[in-house]
């Protein structure tokens, strides 16, 4: 081999080695980029997971705060309802055979308001009228009763309506749980006066649908002075699933008593 060939072979071999090294370094750099991308992808995934977890925790905290604010207001309204109930009073005879009157308040007043003032239409005499002036439909009858006792009952019914409306519009779960708590505060005589109030022009448009939606008469008995026609004026939903007496009446399965 000549000296020219010998001297020319060294640079060529070096060049080949350098090319191999370049290829190796390029491969390592590319591999490093891939590893970096994978690591960044993992970190991004973990960050997204942390953000999601934090978001869920924030949502839980926000829901808990919303519920707390709602319940504080709800129970304040419930306390106000009980105060209004206790403040209602009416003068009533001790019996149908007695002319002496006593002052009844709270739930005892509601019993007298329904049985005597409404049922036996004593309100008609307080208007200076007589039995011949009694209207023959539920709406007019109740409106005349309300003309005498609206100053007592108007505030009471408006507060119940506001509580139901507040629950209905709230961003909470299990709304019926809260409406059941409200309903549990009412006696049968309070419920039946509410029943007639919302058959009248005073409550039929906005109040009555809420009573039906939340099955408010699920525990209302079929009392004197109620009629089957009036029971059927509400949707069957108003009586829930357990008030068999009023459900049967609504379905036409009973006779007048």
| pLDDT confidence of residue 33 | 73
Q: Is a pLDDT exceeding 60 seen at residue 191?
A: yes
* Predicted pLDDT of residue 34: 74
What is the pLDDT confidence band of residue 257, given thresholds at 50, 70 and 90?
very low
Closest CA to 196 of 146, 148, 147: 146
Q: HSE of 120 in the Cβ direction (CA atoms, 13 Å)?
A: 11
pLDDT score for 25? 59
pTM of the model: 0.76
Q: Check pLDDT > 60 for residue 2.
A: no
What does the pLDDT read at residue 250?
Answer: 96
Q: Identify the band that residue 44 occupies on the pLDDT scale cut at 50, 70 and 90.
A: confident
Q: Please name which of 110, 79, 69 lies closest in space to residue 92, comparing C-alpha atoms.
A: 110
DSSP per position, the chain: --HHHHHHHHHHHHHHHHHHHHHHHHHHHHHHHHHHHHHHHHHHHHHHHHHHHHHHHHHHHHHHHHHHHHHHHHHHHHHHHHHHHHH-EEEEESSTT---EEEEETHHHHHHIIIIIIIT-THHHHTT--GGG--SSHHHHHHHHHHHHHHHHHHHHHHHHHHHHHHHHSS-S-HHHHHHHHHHT--HHHHHHHHHHTTSTTTTTTHHHHHHHTTTTTT----TT--HHHHHTS-GGGGTTT-HHHHHHHTT-S---
Predicted confidence (pLDDT) at residue 96 exceeds the cutoff of 80:
no
pLDDT band at 60 (very low <50, low <70, confident <90, very high): confident
Q: What integer best gives the mean pLDDT of the chain?
A: 86
Task: Write out the two tokens for 246.
Answer: 């009023």
pLDDT tens track for 233-250: 999 999 999 999 999 999
Residue 57 pLDDT more than 90?
no
Res 110 pLDDT > 70: yes
């Amino acid at each position: 081999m000549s000296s020219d060939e010998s001297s020319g072979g060294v640079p060529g071999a070096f060049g080949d080695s350098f090319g191999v090294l370049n290829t190796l370094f390029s491969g390592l750099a590319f591999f490093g980029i891939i590893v970096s991308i994978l690591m960044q992808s993992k970190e991004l995934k973990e960050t997204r997971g942390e953000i999601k977890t934090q978001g869920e925790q924030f949502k839980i905290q926000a829901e808990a705060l919303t519920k707390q604010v709602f319940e504080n207001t709800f129970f304040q309204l419930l306390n106000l309802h009980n105060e209004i109930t206790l403040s209602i009073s009416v003068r009533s005879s001790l019996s149908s055979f007695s002319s002496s009157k006593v002052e009844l308040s709270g739930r005892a007043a509601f019993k007298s308001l329904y049985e005597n003032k409404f049922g036996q239409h004593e309100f008609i005499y307080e208007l200076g009228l007589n039995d011949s002036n009694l209207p023959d439909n539920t709406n007019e009858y109740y409106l005349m009763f309300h003309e005498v006792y609206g100053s007592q009952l108007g505030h009471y019914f408006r507060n119940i309506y506001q509580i139901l409306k507040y629950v209905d519009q709230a961003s909470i779960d299990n709304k019926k749980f809260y409406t059941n708590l409200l309903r549990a505060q009412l006696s049968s005589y309070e419920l039946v006066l509410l029943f007639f109030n919302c058959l009248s022009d005073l409550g039929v448009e906005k109040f009555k649908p809420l009573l039906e939606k939340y099955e408010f008469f699920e525990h209302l008995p079929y009392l004197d002075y109620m009629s089957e026609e009036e029971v059927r004026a509400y949707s069957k939903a108003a009586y829930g699933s357990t008030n068999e007496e009023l459900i049967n009446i609504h379905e036409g399965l009973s006779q007048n008593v």
